[in-house]
Amino acid sequence: MKKVIHNLIDNAIKFTAQGQVRIRAWNQQTGEDTCDLHLSVQDTGFGISPELQVKIFEPFTQVDSSTTRRHGGNGLGLAICRQLVELMNGRITLKKPARKRLDVLRRVAVHPVATGT
């Protein structure tokens, strides 16, 4: 999960020349011994066209062809994030409108911690 968080934050900072990057994390109890962990990364960068929003998690997808020249990379970061999140039984989504907001959801087991007296 650390790699996913790092990549999402790095992308948000990289593609936001002005404005802000907002990171939120919270948990939501879903059962007696489970909870959902949520992470949201939102930026005020130039956004993603509707055509690319449906392909943003596919390998080798860039927002535009000049992205590689300006920022480096090969368009694998979000595809790898998606694979990692899905391997952890979670999901990653791009929220609309075109301003970038990536949300990660992962359900985890919660184990009570014994406290000594």
List the structure tokens of 59.
């390998």
At residue 88 the predicted structure's pLDDT band, cuts being 50, 70 and 90, is confident
pLDDT digit string, tens, across residues 49-82: 777 877 888 887 665 555 555 556 657 788 898 8
Contact status, residue 36 vs residue 88, Cβ threshold 8 Å: no
**Predicted pLDDT at 117:** 54
Kindly report the backbone phi and psi dihedral angles of residue 92, in degrees, each rounded to the nearest multiple of 5, phi listed first: -125, 135
Indicate the angle between helix axes 2-14 and 77-87, nearest 10 degrees: 150
> Left (φ > 0), alpha (ψ -120 to 50) or beta: where does 24 sit?
beta
pLDDT single digits (tens) 6-61: 988 998 888 888 889 989 888 888 888 888 888 889 888 877 777 787 788 888 76
Q: Which two tokens stand for residue 84?
A: 């990692």
Under DSSP, the state recorded for 89 is: T
Higher pLDDT, 66 or 90: 90
Query: In angstroms, rounded to a whole number, what is the distance separating the alpha carbons of residues 42 and 56?
Result: 15
